[in-house]
Amino acid sequence: MAISRLGRELLIAPSILSADFLRLGEQVREAAEAGADLFHLDMMDGHFVPNLTFGPPVVEGLQKLTSLPLEAHLMVLRPEIYLEDLASARMHRVTVHAEATTHLHYVLGKIGSLGMKAGVAISPATPVGMVEDVLDMIDLVLVMTVNPGFGGQSFITHSLKKVESMRTLLDRAGAAHVRLEVDGGIKAGNISRVADCGADTFVMGSAIFGEKPCETVFGEIRRALTSER
């Protein structure tokens, strides 16, 4: 969307989990034309979280629908077993949960060795310090602002403090290369507050793939992010 705030470029990542899969191609094109910067794919295994969603074949299908980057958010146990398939499907970035593996350093290294960018996600009850020792291996940290596993949840207000804490951690570590993404309950009505706390990448699902046309929603987002505070 080519919007900057507090010296940071802001990116919008529609989550296809909230899209109508019977109209997936149409909705992906509409979001891309309206101003999406990348697409976010929530991949769940029914074990780390209760839900079960899609796998690498959907990624391959999406590659035919858009030239925008695709990022996978793996809400799965043993994320390492999916990485080669995702690399073959030309995934741009893979984000794994710090809580889902006891070998985070190894998993991040494998993501990088396969030519993909790496990210780490933390759930609402996980401390920000969980990512401190791997900042040199990632280009994104994802702060969940809802509990992972279900779309359409309400934003957890006290997670604003966690976003601020993560921004402080990144700044103190000199990790300017690491983007700070938020996921869960983000919409035009609260995105400005979240951006002020230091987030620069925003996953939005039901807010984008809802009743309003994508063009209208992106217009609301732009106004919220560029309005005088």
Which residues does the annotation mark as catalytic? 42, 183
In angstroms, the CA 54 to CA 91 distance is 14
User: For the chain, what percent of residues have pLDDT higher than 70?
Assistant: 97
E strands in 106-167: 117-122, 140-144
Q: Which of 15, 6, 132 is nearest to 72 (CA)?
A: 15
Phi/psi of residue 36, nearest 5 degrees: -60, 145
- Summarize pLDDT for 76-125 with one digit per residue, the tens: 999 999 999 999 999 999 999 999 999 999 999 999 999 999 999 999 99
pLDDT at residue number 227: 80
Q: What is the mean pLDDT of residues 198-208?
A: 96
In angstroms, the CA 13 to CA 9 distance is 13
172: three-class secondary structure by DSSP: helix
pLDDT at residue number 55: 81
pLDDT at residue number 135: 97
pLDDT band at 56 (very low <50, low <70, confident <90, very high): confident
Confidence check: pLDDT of 229 > 70: no
In angstroms, the CA 197 to CA 123 distance is 17
pLDDT at residue number 50: 82
Fold of 3-226: TIM Barrel (3.20.20)
Q: What is the mean pLDDT of residues 187-214?
A: 95
pLDDT at residue number 96: 98
Class of residue 22 by CB neighbours under 10 A (exposed 0-12, middle 13-18, buried 19+): exposed
* Helix and strand counts by DSSP (H, E) for the chain: 7, 9
Q: Under a CB-based contact definition with an 8 Å cutoff, are residues 163 and 182 in contact?
A: yes
Mean pLDDT, all residues of the chain: 93
pLDDT at residue number 136: 96
E strands in 70-226: 70-75, 93-97, 117-122, 140-144, 179-183, 201-204
Is residue 15 marked as binding? Answer: yes
Is residue 40 marked as binding? Answer: yes
Class of residue 156 by CB neighbours under 10 A (exposed 0-12, middle 13-18, buried 19+): middle
In angstroms, the CA 159 to CA 175 distance is 21
pLDDT at residue number 7: 83
Q: Which amino acid is at 228?
A: E
Q: Under a CB-based contact definition with an 8 Å cutoff, are residues 135 and 178 in contact?
A: yes
In angstroms, the CA 221 to CA 64 distance is 27
pLDDT at residue number 150: 67
Is residue 209 marked as binding? Answer: no
Residues in the chain: 229
Q: What is the mean pLDDT of residues 160-175?
A: 97
pLDDT at residue number 32: 96
pLDDT band at 59 (very low <50, low <70, confident <90, very high): confident
Confidence check: pLDDT of 201 > 60: yes
pLDDT at residue number 152: 65
Confidence check: pLDDT of 228 > 60: no
Q: What is the mean pLDDT of residues 59-64?
A: 88
Where do the structural domains in the chain lie, given as residue ranges?
3-226
In angstroms, the CA 158 to CA 100 distance is 23
Is residue 73 marked as binding? Answer: yes
